[in-house]
Structures are given as structure tokens and as C-alpha cells.
Structure 1
């Protein structure tokens, strides 16, 4: 009896390289909606087998970015078909020309969700969850004072993901994955829009943590809304104007 061999580590690496390259090309507009992907050309471009290519296209199809068409081939789909909340799509958009659009869109979404998470968390979060939020805020203060950008970012990610997961609402908590993805685009973002970190901003995070600790729902919600609104305002000021 023959057994089916599992993909080699090399094939898995090539598989991801193809997915990443094609996804980035679609986000950047190099592969425009309606484009029919030529399997032969892609196989030659990436020097991969058709099997690797088909697996990569299946992943992109699961993200709503391509769709097989009978008699024509695999077609690139428009943005409104994409899974824009998928962390990988967020990363691709964060690297490309849609960075500013995506930041605004997700900040507006966060403005609706995170103050609610803070209000709920002030009542629902257990001691360990509140401690996680507070420790992250304290680390942000220390990192800002030490001018430690990477340390600040990691603490910022920990703060917001802990805040969302501590809401007691599993749907809101699920959004933590998307928030982490968008925050991490700052590492690669060369334009440095809304990446300013200061002791004052860090202390705002600490004030939110203290409100959670005091079980003060109104203050926690208001401070969180103020924090995100300030980030939106900064973004609006920094984003390039349409030409």
C-alpha cells in the first residue's frame, strides 16, 4: 500500500512565498480586479509546481481575493469581496498603498468597540485580566521614558488585546487578533503615521487600567474613547491629502 507523503518544508516555504507575493500584488494593484491569473506564467515566475500553486490559490480564495472561473481560469476579485478582517489581509494592506485607508477604517471600528470593551471589562474582567492590562500600561510608561520603541509597541499590543479579551464578550474578544495585526504594521511602516509614542499617551493607558481596577465603567469607557479619538485626530492630521 502506498502512503501519501506530506509536503516538504521546502514546499511549505514556497507555498507561503507564493501566497504572500500574490496577496501583496493584489493589495498594491499590480494584479487588478478582473485579472485572470495565468498558471503557466505564475509557475515560471515562482519556480514552483502546479500543486504548490493550486494550494496557494486555494488560500487566496478562502480570503475572498480570487475565484476560479470555468473555461477562463482564476480571477482576481474586487476589494469588497476580500476578508478585510483577516489578520493577513490587514498586514498586506498595512504594507501597501491602502495603509492610510485601512488605519482610518479600523480606528473608527475600534472607537466603536474598545470603549464598550472597557466598560464591560470594568465589571466582567477578573483580577488576572485587569493585572495584565495594568502591567502592560506600566510597561508602556517605562518604555516611553526609556525611548524604547519596540518595547512600547509590544506593551501597546498587550494592553489593547488584554482589554478586549477582558470584556467578558467573546465576540469583542475575538477582535483582539485584528487589533494586534494592525498595531504590528507600525513595525514595518516607514511613513510613521500615528506611531508617536510619548509618556503622556502611555499614562492615558495607565489611567484606563486604574479605572478598570476601580470598577469604574463610565471613566474606563470615556478614557478609552478619548484615547482612540485622539489617535484618529492625529491620523487625520498626518495622512496625505488627496492629490
Structure 2
């Protein structure tokens, strides 16, 4: 049954990629380590063809590289595609959660206010409705204590603004932001906190500026929103001992 076999191989391939990628990110497979195909084949009970395909995926992410007469070597972090959603997931699962959140929040602080300024004059009616609905949902979910619903609305809110900028490069960043926020879902870090009411209010203020087409207010409000998120995150990390 070739179809069943190929489906099984795809599952094994995904499993190998996930395990090895996580081990590289967590430092269990250190920079410079050589991955031995024979040993990995025994460990995962998979064929060499499945392993080779798995290593090609990791190579495409900048995490490993084949070395002639040596084997496949683990590369340093500076080579990784740190904006790739899969690497974001791996970093979000392990000890790099707080480091990654800080790094990408700092990047968002520089980018999202610009996206908000552009979106104030470029949002189409559907995107405008999505932003309004997401902001309303965040306020409602924050009041009712539904952290999962709040976070899903947060993802929809920022995704709509980034795509609504009308800039394809900025819009592409929405995938990164969604992957980052979803690490909070996967790691169950989406509880309502003392910060939630103020954060929901800031999101709603930004939505109001966008609906009004006020680009300057949208820029300023978006900057204040992300800056406050950075401060809240620093407090969260400090409480967690990070």
C-alpha cells in the first residue's frame, strides 16, 4: 500500500524533525556536534531516507549543514532562521521562551507602530471590521476571565493590522507574530492577569484610531501598547526568576 507507507513516512519524518530541532534549540545537541545517521536510524527506528529528508528540513532552517567526509554538523544560532515559525515554536517550548519573547517584542516595538500608521489609511472594510471585533472580544474575554479567547483575539487583532498595512513585507511578519503568540497557547501561558484590563483598553484605543483613520494617533498608541507589553513581560520574567 504505497499511499499508507508514504503517509507513515511523513509522520516519522515530522517526528524526527521535531525531536532533533527541539534538542538543537535546547542545547542538548550542541553547536559543532556531528549527527551520526546510523545512530539516529537506530534511535528513531527509521530508514536512512527518512533521516536524510529530516536533516534537509533542518538544513533549510540553518540549523545543520552536511560536511564532506565528516557528517552533518549542528550550526551556531547565528545561522538559524530565527523568524521561522517552527524555530519560534521550539524556542517557545524550552528555556529560551523568555529570551525569544523579549527579542521579538523589541522587534515588534520598531515595526508594529509603522504598520499601524499605514493601516490607518489602508485598511479595507473587512480588515477594519476584524480589528474592531478583535478589540471588542479582548475587552469581553478579559472581563469574563477567558484567557484562551483573549489570546486568539489578540492574534487576530495584530494579524489584521500587519496585513492591513498594505506592505507585503510587513504583512509577512504576521506569520512570525502569530507563531510567537501561539507559543503562549501551547505552553498554557494565557491566563488573565492584573495587566489584562489595561492591555485590552490599549488595544481598543488603537482600534478606535484605526477606524478614525488617524495615522499619528495609531502610531503613538501602537508604540505605547507594545512598550507596555515589554514592561509587563519583563515583570512576568522577573517573577518566574528569568
Kindly indicate whether the alpha-carbon contact (under 8 Å) linking 2:147 and 2:190 is maintained by their aligned counterparts in 1.
Answer: no
* 1:75 match: secondary structure: strand
Shift of 1:194: 9.6
1:125 to 123, 126, 144: 123
Q: Distance in 1 between matches of 2:129 and 2:172?
A: 20
Task: Map 1:165-184 onto structure 2 (within 5 A).
Answer: 165-184=163-182
Q: TM-score, normalised by structure 1?
A: 0.93
Q: Distance in 2 between matches of 1:61 and 1:193?
A: 33
Residue 116 to residue 145, structure 1, CA distance change in 2 (3 Å): same
Per-residue CA deviation, residues 119-140 of structure 1 (Å, 9 max, x unaligned), is 0000111121111111111111
Residue 169 to residue 7, structure 1, CA distance change in 2 (3 Å): farther
Match of 1:37 in 2: 35
Give ranges in structure 1 of 5+ residues lacking alignment: none
Task: Map 1:4-23 onto structure 2 (within 5 A).
Answer: 8-23=6-21
Residue 27 to residue 195, structure 1, CA distance change in 2 (3 Å): farther
Match of 1:51 in 2: 49
* 1:74 match: secondary structure: strand
Q: Distance in 1 between matches of 2:228 and 2:3?
A: 54
Kindly indicate whether the alpha-carbon contact (under 8 Å) linking 1:194 and 1:234 is maintained by their aligned counterparts in 2.
Answer: no
What is the count of residue pairs matched by the alignment? 239
Match of 1:189 in 2: 187
Q: Which structure carries more helix by proportion?
A: 2
2:103 to 99, 102, 105: 105
Deviant stretches of 4+, over 3 Å: 4-7, 192-197, 240-243
Shift of 1:200: 2.6
* 2:65 match: secondary structure: strand
Match of 1:201 in 2: 199
* 1:239 match: secondary structure: helix
Kindly indicate whether the alpha-carbon contact (under 8 Å) linking 1:193 and 1:235 is maintained by their aligned counterparts in 2.
Answer: no
Please state if 1:92 is matched with 2:97. Answer: no
How well do the aligned residues superpose, as a CA RMSD in angstroms? 2.0
